[in-house]
Amino acid sequence: MNAVTSNRALLAPTYATGLVAGLRESVNERLKFWPVLAILTTFWVYVTLSNVLYAASMQASIASMNPGKYFAPWDQRVLQHLFLYPFLVLCVLASLRIGWQPMWRALPAQVGLGLLFSVLGSPAMIAAECLIGNPNDWHHGEPYTWSEFLNGPDSAMWLASATNFFLTYGFGLALLTGIAIYHRFRLSQLKSAALERALTSAHLAALRMQLSPHTLFNLLHTIRGQIGWDPAAAQAMVVQLGDLLRRLLNAAERDFSLLTDELRFVRLYLELQQKRFADRLTIWMADLDGIPPVWVPSLILQPLIENAVVHGLAGHNGPVEIRVEVTVCGENLLVRVINTIAPNSIVGRDGIGLRNVRERLAVQFAERATFTATAAGAGDWIAQIRMPLLRDGPELAVA
């Protein structure tokens, strides 16, 4: 819809800026401790199983060519990951607390947390091997010196383990960040939808407020014309006007009404007009008993009827016929208001009533509804509304 599209266009820059600048707030306030813990636990179980299966498959593949022990057994790897799990949780929680803004200060802290976690991989494996395996397989007879450590195979294994766990830590942090961004996106969508609904309701309320005084002024003018020469008819019209205003107020409180109720309202309005122009105005309306129970926007026909009366009677003294036709075409409802106009009438631009109808259809149905108002042959003016057929109630009408 036009109003919704404009609203989204206004919200887009604000949302894009807030998504980047508010990432820290989104993670800390939207993703609470227990959801974070559940995500990290699931992620770490997956990492543990992946590493165990990978080591087992590589051990079987290499041992088939060169028998020997090249990878730690599965129970040691599971225990290694169990030792690393609390450090993972602590580092990730610290990372989320630090956030990413400002980047020049947050990035070194984030990398430092990743390195702190990753260098614990080898010590965790040594601790697991000490508890489960044979200490003689890993224990060095004499204390290590830095020279022996840096020149031996242990430093390379430590670096490989740290690299692997640093990347693993990065993937886990990226997973949480992605979930936080998606969570914030969903919250923004909900807020945007709420704003769209509020905007639509406010727009429709404003359009209905345009209708009520416009209709009232026209009817009061009609009654005024009767008071001078037919007071009894004017009194009867006042009673009918009271009934009409009651219906008008009730309809103005709802976005949608049954088509039959709208047509009864139109008939009451036309009967009031006919009492003033009895010698000139002829009315034909569709049979209410043959109309299915379908829903239409409240007061959508009233501007068309007012336009038919005012512009049909203007400019000439001849008879005027107003016809209201209703047709169901598949899943569409077609409503036509046809009125006689003076043969030489000049067709002008849409007035407030026709603009009102066009705007309401655009807000409530977007491109699914059309409205045309144009002069036809033989001195007729045709206003036609085509809209979706709503059988089950007004809640299906808003796109």
The CA–CA distances, whole Å, from 351 to 103, 111, 235, 307, 358 equal: 57, 66, 31, 9, 11
pLDDT at site 82: 94
pLDDT at site 349: 59
Tokens coding 309:
């009366």
CB atoms closer than 10 angstroms to residue 146: 8
For β-strands 281-285 and 320-329, DSSP reports them as parallel
The CA–CA distances, whole Å, from 92 to 87, 89, 98, 399 equal: 8, 5, 10, 42
Q: How far apart are CA 193 and CA 7, in angstroms?
A: 10
DSSP assignment letter at 136: G
Q: Which residues of the chain have pLDDT under 50?
A: 1-30, 138-144, 146, 148-150, 152, 395-399
pLDDT at site 210: 58
The type of residue at 96 is: L
Tens digits of residue pLDDT in 310-367: 888 877 778 889 999 999 998 999 999 999 887 776 655 567 778 888 888 888 888 8
Question: What is the model's pTM?
Answer: 0.50
Half-sphere exposure of 231 (CA within 13 A, CB side): 0
Q: How far apart are CA 256 and CA 248, in angstroms?
A: 13
